[in-house]
Structure 1
Amino acid sequence: MNTNTPDLFDHPAPGGGSVWLTGQTDLATQLADGGYHPRTATDPDLIPPAIAAEIITRYTWPGELVLDPDCGPATTLVEALHHGRPALGLTTNPRSWRLARTNITTAKRSGAWSDGSILDHPATALTHIRAAGTRGTATLAITALRNPTRSTATTDLTTTLTHTRKALHPDGHIAIVATPTRDRNGELIDLPTAVLAAGQAAGLVLVHHAVALTAALHHDGVRTRAGITKRRRAHNHPSGKPIALTAHRHILVFQPALATVSAVAGAGHHHLGNTAVREAPFLHIGRTDLDAVGAAA
């Protein structure tokens, strides 16, 4: 097990930290049950439907707008529709746009909430779409940290978050989902710190840091769902040392700085929006056990 991994909660937030049991059902089953197009699974930064649903139900009520400024194949939007929330997504990737439209259309035909849209625009367009009635109305924005090994990943995320704030309700939340990623030497990249830096640069304050499992939790531990190919690659990594399989996503939840100050000031009146009151108790699993979980087969 890699002992040089960053602490899961190096950056404590007012809402604390928690572990979400979002991996009890495997991803293939989640996608099949949700009616997603088969190519949805090929997105390398895919937000699993169970994780999207967990965030949505924790931070919104039915009827509140959910936004994804870089939506990929739109699992976040589809789960919002299935849970009775209107949804709006943006992407400039033609393949993602077509796939997102297919998934949203399928969800609507299956009886999900009908108010779901996907725009062929970058997140910067959120600053200029007042006519669409979106500015300041989204209760929740969810998006993935995409292509995290790029040198511009953090600055690009800062730009996305800065413009996303324009569409966010003053008491709304922005959740960033980051998939654990290793460098060429097999060492885990400290993505939580990168996401935190991007959020702070965009004028946001971290209010919660969760670990959402993508593996099943059993009485005898966490079990990954990696196939034989991934397991062999982990044991025969180019770095010359075996690496542990990851089994989770990081979820960093932010609010605009002014909203956070207001919430703290009004805590005596229980004006906390939809945040900490719905958080599960923090299950402490330790410093390295999740970022480099050597889970059983």
Structure 2
Amino acid sequence: MQLRDSDCAPGTETDSDLIPPTVARYAIEAYTRPGDLVLDPDCGSGTALAEALRTGRHAVGLTTDSRWWALARANITAARAAGAWRDGGVLDARPKVLASALAAGMIGQVGLVLTALRATSDRVHDATSATTGLARTMQYCEPLLRSGGHLVVVARPRRHPDGSLLDLTTPLITAATAAGLAPVERCIALTAELYGARLSTHASFAERRAADHARAAGTPTALTAHLEVLVFQLAHDAELASATAMPPPVKDNVLHTPVDRAEQSGRRRAA
């Protein structure tokens, strides 16, 4: 429904690791200003790029998959046809090109790096390999972020063969820290509707069929009901924000501790 409402090109729905348009738009509007540059170093079908253009931001994406390249170009064209006028493009290149002279003009110019954790399959080995690749990408992207910029990773849950969730958060936070980034928020983006205490998933036909096959083979499985969203900031920006925070006010011998900004933001979103 989101892809249809955003006039995405046919075939976009085959990108199982795409960033849903509403998630992309929320991140873009929360962490950038109009006119900022949004970068997706592994853009897939380009949903994040299209939403960046629709919200008045510039967008650059990278991919080496010819199918995703064509779809991302089509989605950028659709956004422009709907009235988006900012610059946007997709490069046939790997993320490591961001560390070359070709990307020198982007150093310190990117307001938001918004990307998804992409694996070739749901197998634990492939998910682990994708995490390692994203760790390298974070190192390439860190010099490109402007002061106050953010890097946001959207990850679809993966499971071990026994059905337990694979921990993707810990290695991603470790990789970001090693790249000079500091974690500032950890969010959950529901992809299911909430009816009282029950979640109603909106899984695709392909996801439901895969779940049926897994159950028939005796492997516990579950339909995806959420995406994990990790938000990082340049480490020195996070340190500066912490150092310049106002001291808590004292009144009538009662210490009033201010709510942490990230926690406050999280509460607003939960509300």
Distance 1:152 1:228 in 2: 27
Letter in 1 for 2:243: A
Distance 2:90 2:104 in 1: 13
Higher normalized helix content (fraction of residues): 2
- Cα gap change, 1:61/1:246 in structure 2, threshold over 3 Å: closer, same or farther? same
Contact 2:38-2:52 at 8 Å conserved across structures: yes
Letter in 2 for 1:159: R
- What are the equivalent positions in structure 2 for 1:96-245 lying under 5 Å apart? 96-129=68-101, 133-147=105-119, 149=124, 150=126, 151-226=128-203, 230=207, 234=211, 237=215, 240=218, 242-245=220-223
Residue 259 (1) aligns with residue 231 (2): no
1:60 maps to what in 2?
32
Distance 2:105 2:205 in 1: 49
Distance 2:181 2:3 in 1: 32
Contact 2:131-2:168 at 8 Å conserved across structures: no
Report the alpha carbon displacement of residue 224 of structure 1 after superposing the two structures with TM. Answer: 0.8
- Cα gap change, 1:43/1:241 in structure 2, threshold over 3 Å: closer, same or farther? closer
Distance 1:120 1:212 in 2: 30
Higher normalized strand content (fraction of residues): 2
- What are the equivalent positions in structure 2 for 1:88-103 lying under 5 Å apart? 88-103=60-75
Distance 1:234 1:130 in 2: 43
Letter in 2 for 1:37: A
1:17 maps to what in 2?
none
Please list the CA deviations of residues 48-90 of structure 1 after superposition, one character each: whole Å capped at 9, or x if unmatched: 1111111111111211111111111110010011111111111
Contact 1:91-1:120 at 8 Å conserved across structures: yes
Report the alpha carbon displacement of residue 129 of structure 1 after superposing the two structures with TM. Answer: 4.7
Please list the CA deviations of residues 159-215 of structure 1 after superposition, one character each: whole Å capped at 9, or x if unmatched: 100001121113210000100112333222111122222212222111100000111
The answer for unaligned runs of 5 or more in structure 1 is 1-28, 285-297
The answer for unaligned runs of 5 or more in structure 2 is 248-260
Distance 2:76 2:140 in 1: 24
Residue 268 (1) aligns with residue 240 (2): no
Using CA pairs under 8 Å that are at least 6 residues apart, name the structure with larger relative contact order, 1 or 2: 1
Identity %: 44
Scaled by the length of structure 2, the TM-score of the pair is 0.83
1:73 maps to what in 2?
45
Contact 2:162-2:219 at 8 Å conserved across structures: no
Contact 1:186-1:239 at 8 Å conserved across structures: no
Q: How many residues align?
A: 252
Letter in 1 for 2:168: L
Please list the CA deviations of residues 109-156 of structure 1 after superposition, one character each: whole Å capped at 9, or x if unmatched: 110133111111221222235677321111110101111742432321
Letter in 2 for 1:259: D
- Cα gap change, 1:228/1:62 in structure 2, threshold over 3 Å: closer, same or farther? closer
Distance 2:204 2:51 in 1: 26
- Cα gap change, 1:134/1:262 in structure 2, threshold over 3 Å: closer, same or farther? same
- What are the equivalent positions in structure 2 for 1:10-21 lying under 5 Å apart? none
Please list the CA deviations of residues 258-278 of structure 1 after superposition, one character each: whole Å capped at 9, or x if unmatched: 121111112239xxxx96775
Letter in 2 for 1:80: A
Contact 1:127-1:167 at 8 Å conserved across structures: no
Scaled by the length of structure 1, the TM-score of the pair is 0.76
Distance 1:76 1:229 in 2: 22
